[in-house]
Every structure is written in structure tokens, then in C-alpha cells.
Amino acid sequence: MPKTILFFAPHPDDAEFYAGGTLARMTSEGDRLYIITVTDGSKGSLDIDAETLITIRRQEAVRGAARLGGEPPIFLGYSDFGLDQVPHDVLREQFTRLIRQYRPDVVFAEDPFVNEIHPDHRAVAWAAHEAVHYSGLPLLYPQHLKEGLQPHSCLEKYFYSGDLEVANKIVDISTTFEKKIAAMGEHKSQVEFLVNEFLNQAKQAGLDLSEYPGDLINDPLAALTFTFQAEAVETGKRGNVSLGEAFRYVRFHPYIEMLLKSQEK
């Protein structure tokens, strides 16, 4: 049966960045994807004013989600770099409400147990982690019941991060890597920002990047693709696939998982 997927993205490009190949693979198999874009991405530029950037990032997010085979994103509209000023319970209640509304079979969120420098990512990671684990409790936010929203327990949870050491699931994205790049390419303003930030740091460090293959210095998407591919190859080695994305995958309580494994033997 097709599954419903809910992805909690702190910023407009995070779904494509962290899990684009996996999401494209799942939608190609008939699953339905909803991306919750929590902030407006209004701080991610070196040369575009915030008001213009909000419009651009929203349009890019719509195109990126479509490239992944997903539904139009659900924009919560919080200010970029502002989630540390939002009370934690406000986010957790809102995320719990969304889980009960969309009733996903699968939820993607950032792993809160891995060190993350960005305050928006930390805030979304913890709120989503708590919401997805406790949205099945009827006494948690009982006002939802009055609104007709029933408790909902999500079976599959994919937690993403940049730490391969905590990953227990490698997804083969060999056939959907190009879709990931195409979706990421729709976030042109963010791709240019990320690469320019990298080049600025390389310049400060005194690095010579002239020997990089192709025209990576003058082609931001090519530069990002080069990096993504190198990371996907390294990740894939852990799962014996050519290109992979890594997650900390959680399903049942650890003791239930142990019982299941014992019965499979």
C-alpha cells in the first residue's frame, strides 16, 4: 500500500539536501510526500534583501518538492534564524497537530542527538522528535480531539544528520541521485549561497581550488553535485551500494525489535 510521508524541514531546501534521493525513490514507488517547511529561509543570502528572498525561496521550494514527486510544501512561515525565540511547546504542539492531521506512515526529521550548530535545526529536531513519539497519546493536547483530530502513532521514523556513525539504515539512491540534484538545483539562491560561503572560507584559508575538475568554481550546482556525489559514494560503501543516503531509522521499541529479530532466526 502507498505510504504517506511527512518531512519536517527547518529550511526550504533541507528535504532535498538531506534526503532527496530517498524521497524521490519513495514517491516513485507510489508514496505521497508532504514537506513541512518551517522557516522562510530569509537569512540565506549574501546579496538579496530578505523580503525578496522570502518570495524566491518559497517559489524554489514549490519547484523542488515537485521534482521529488511531492505535494506542494506546507509553509509555516517562521522567520529564518528565529526558532530559538519560539517557545518549544508551541512548535511541538504544531508538529503534533500536523502529524494528527496528515496521519503519516513515515516521518523524516533531523536527529536531535547529533550536534547541530544552526538554532533552527536544533529547535525543529527536538520538537519533531517529541511530536512523532508522543502524537499517539490522547491526553497530549486534548484540544485536538475537540477539533476532530485523533491521536496518531507513526511507525517509521527516519532521522537524518551528517554523522554516519549513528546511522543504521543506508538507502540506495543510485537510481534517484539525478532527481536529488535536479530538485536541489531548483533552490538556485540557496545553492549559490552555500557555494559562495564555501569559496569565501577557502579563500580565507589560502586554498588553491584551480585544480578542481571541470568548471566547479563558476558553476555552483556542479560544485554541489561534486560534493553530494562524493558523500553519497562514501555513504554507499556502508550499505554495499554505489550511492547512498544514511539515516538513524526507528520503528518499534528496542525490546520489541529484539524480540522480532529473535523470532526471525
Whether residue 215 has pLDDT greater than 70: no
> What gap in Å lies between CA 143 and CA 132, rounded to an integer?
18
Query: Which residues are CB-contacts of 116 (< 8 A; sequence separation ≥ 6)?
Result: 110, 122, 125, 161
The pLDDT value recorded for residue 265 is 67
Scan for cell 537510481, then name that residue: 175
> What gap in Å lies between CA 79 and CA 198, rounded to an integer?
24
Residues 1-26: tens digit of each pLDDT = 899 999 999 999 999 999 999 999 99
The pLDDT value recorded for residue 130 is 98
The pLDDT value recorded for residue 230 is 94
State the chain's mean pLDDT as an integer.
94
Look at the chain and report how many structural domains it folds into: 1
Q: Which residues form the domain of 56?
A: 4-264
Residues 36-71: tens digit of each pLDDT = 999 999 999 989 999 999 999 999 999 999 999 999
> How many other CB atoms are found less than 10 A from the CB of residue 197?
12
Query: Which residues are CB-contacts of 33 (< 8 A; sequence separation ≥ 6)?
Result: 5, 7, 23, 26, 27, 65, 68, 69, 70, 71
- Counting Cβ atoms within 10 Å, is residue 140 exposed (0-12), middle (13-18) or buried (19+)? middle
- Domain containing residue 197: CATH number: 3.40.50.10320
Whether residue 105 has pLDDT greater than 90: yes
Which is more confident, 255 or 216? 255
Give pTM, 2 decimals. 0.94
Whether residue 200 has pLDDT greater than 60: yes
The pLDDT value recorded for residue 234 is 97
The pLDDT value recorded for residue 116 is 93
Beta strands 156-160 and 169-172: pairing type? unpaired
